[in-house]
Amino acid sequence: MSDSMITLTDESLTIDHSSREVDRERFIAYQNELSAQAEEKAQQRQHAKGKMTARERIDTLLDPGSFTEIGQFVGGNVAEGFKGAAVVCGLGQINGRQVAIYAQDFSVQGGTLGEAEGDKIIATIDKALLLRIPVIGIMDSGGARIQEGVVALGQYGRIFKKTCQASGVIPQISLILGPCAGGAVYSPALTDFIIMTKDNSHMFVTGPDVVRATTGEDVSFADLGGAQVHNFQSGVAHYLAEDEDDALDYTRTLLTYLPSNSDEPVPFYDYIEEDVHIDVGAIVPDETKVPYDVVDVISAIVDYGEFVQIQEFFARNIVVGFACIEGRSVGIVANQPIHDAGTLDVDASEKAARFVQFCDAFKIPVVTLVDVPGYRPGTQQEQAGIIRRGAKLIWAYATASVPLVTVILRKAYGGAYIVMGSKSLGGDLVYAWPGAEIAVLGADGAVSIIHRRELAKALEEGNEAEVHAELSAAYTRNNVNPYLSVARGELDGIISPNDTRATISASLEALQTKNTIYTGPARHGNMPM
């Protein structure tokens, strides 16, 4: 046999290159056969665990027939019947728009990452950067391939760096559809959105075995790093999917609100005016301490009532997500009175800060709906770093260059008023509903501080309750209303609740060319971490 002869596992497929008459059809048939065998094996292994294969996931996510695979046989020896690396990469379309995608293939060496897989993933992100299109990563992997040692570790480092280079240039979405363990978790952690499924989806820096060995703690995969933990407690994940189909469907939906890159204009859709009129004001009770679901307000003012929440179950005292207003994609941030009275805390501040920062990176206008009694008081919050972590939200709004439209629905007190997209932080157009309470402190707290002496005297005279009520009423009359803010230019107007949607829409239209870039002397600011 000559050196140029490639002997395939099936003798009948032997190809003689020396004659330079390559039997293309037979070779392609062989390639296809290898692919089919690999997929069959993958289906057997994955379906037994209730999971799709990498290729099934790609096919479900992308528009039918749109996938162009890149480097299918990289990392393997076709002649020896090896099917390639443990990751499937390529380009395709979602709702007619280009995306780049990589999906780890658990059926090949546990989806682990070695040299070939690292090269393929980095090449995919590079291709996405070149084409200025979103990149989607589907994780299902045992992490760094132990046999490749430091080579595998180095590849993770390169993926981290590439992901950071792509951050803010193209949207990056990660789906965790299997294990994602060890330092490998930082690959999705550096992307914009993480989607996990209720079952089969785990993320942890150290797995249950290591935890048991080092600390003695006995913990399950789910309790350590399951989707519930990361959606409800840690805030690592942005969406809790029922199953893989739901995860893939959410990814398609999410992308409809995002531009393909930071230079592209924000998505704009034809909007057909609906003949539905919701009394927005009636959703919000007059009494400021009575809770209501702010999602009902959002649904009432956005196109078709469609609102896609991000991190729905984490820091539920604030709501963030995407919607369209008269066809224009916007990011919405709103205090949520049904959870912790809508107070701001460490988690809410970070959740909203990251969201505003994402919107700013991709030129998506931010609409802020304010109904906030203040920061949550107490030692727990102070010790958790409310100063450091709360500062992130100020930073995000203050450095944002996208249109910022803010509406105060019912109340905005103290520092929380300033933080929530106020005029002084850079809010472009700021409105309030009639009767909105805007002040440094609520009447009870303020009166007991500024009228301490009168109240002490009243206490001695036995009419403290009466005096307190009178002073509170006077304080509310003079200080707790939006009219002072209008006069000072902190508000651009008082609007009727039922004009909220039209006012926001007109404001966004008026601000559409806004795209200021901060040109201070610094190389970059030092965002609070």
- Rounded Cα distance between 353 and 393, Å, is 4
| Residue 10, number of CB atoms within 10 A of its CB | 11
**Choice among 50, 149, 183, 489 that is catalytic:** 183
Residue 356 binding ligand HXC, by CB under 6 A? no
**Percentages of the chain per state (helix, strand, coil), in multiples of 5:** 45, 20, 35
Quick one: three-class SS letters along 379-424?
A: HHHHHCCHHHHHHHHHHHHHHCCCCEEEEEEEEEEHHHHHHCCCHH
Half-sphere exposure in the Cβ direction for 356 (13 Å, CA): 33
* DSSP secondary structure code for residue 258 in this structure: S
CA dihedral in degrees (97, 351, 185, 135; nearest 10)? 10
- Total binding residues toward ligand HXC, as defined by CB under 6 A: 16
- Alpha-carbon gap, residue 231 to 247, rounded angstroms: 13
Which residue, 143 or 267, is less far from ligand HXC as judged by CB? 143
182 part of the interface to ligand HXC, by CB under 6 A: yes
Q: Does position 112 bind ligand HXC by CB under 6 A?
A: yes
Q: Which part of the chain contacts ligand HXC (CB under 6 A), choosing from 179-187, 251-259, 272-280, 350-358? A: 179-187
179 binds ligand HXC (CB under 6 A): yes
183 binds ligand HXC (CB under 6 A): yes
330 forms beta bridges with: 323
* Residue among 56 and 347 whose Cβ is closer to ligand HXC: 56
Total number of residues shown for the chain? 529
| 207 lines the binding site for ligand HXC (CB under 6 A) | yes
Dihedral sign from CA coordinates of 226, 245, 356, 315: negative
Please confirm, yes or no, whether 76 is among the known catalytic residues.
no
Task: Report how far residue 225's alpha carbon sits from residue 337's, in angstroms, rounded to the nearest whole number.
Answer: 29
Separation of CA 291 from chain center: 26
Site for ligand HXC in 151-170 (CB under 6 A): 153, 156
Annotated active-site residue 436? The verdict is no
Stretch that binds ligand HXC, among 67-75, 127-135, 178-186, 519-527 (CB under 6 A): 178-186
Among 76, 142, 226, 403, binds ligand HXC (CB under 6 A): 142
- Cα–Cα distance for residue pair 421/344, rounded to 1 Å: 13
Instruction: Please tell me whether residue 292 adopts helix, strand or coil conformation.
Output: coil
Should residue 145 be labelled a site residue for ligand HXC when binding is judged by CB under 6 A? yes
Catalytic residue among 168, 281, 305, 415: 415
- What is the rounded CA–CA span in Å between residue 496 and residue 479? 21
Task: Measure CA of the first residue to CA of the last residue in the chain; give whole Å.
Answer: 64
- 238 lies in the binding site for ligand HXC (CB under 6 A): no
Specify whether 182 is catalytic. yes
Query: Is 181 among the residues that bind ligand HXC (CB under 6 A)?
Result: yes
Question: CB-wise, 113 or 409, nearer to ligand HXC?
Answer: 113
Q: Does 143 bind ligand HXC (CB under 6 A)?
A: yes
The answer to whether residue 137 forms part of the interface with ligand HXC (CB under 6 A) is: no
Residue 50 touching ligand HXC (CB under 6 A): no
Q: How far is the CB of 43 from ligand HXC (least distance, A)?
A: 15
Residue 213 interacts with ligand HXC (CB under 6 A)? no
| Minimum CB distance to ligand HXC, residue 316 (Å) | 31
Active site residue 385: no
Query: Applying CB under 6 A, does 184 fall inside the site for ligand HXC?
Result: yes
x-or-dash pattern for ligand HXC, window 71-110, by CB under 6 A? --------------------------------------xx
> For residue 293, what are the contacts with CB-CB under 8 A and spacing of at least 6?
336, 337, 338
Q: Is 421 in the site for ligand HXC (CB under 6 A)?
A: no
Q: And the tokens for 386?
A: 């409310």
Contact positions vs ligand HXC (CB under 6 A): 109-110, 112, 142-146, 153, 156, 179, 181-184, 207
Catalytic center residues: 182-183, 415-416
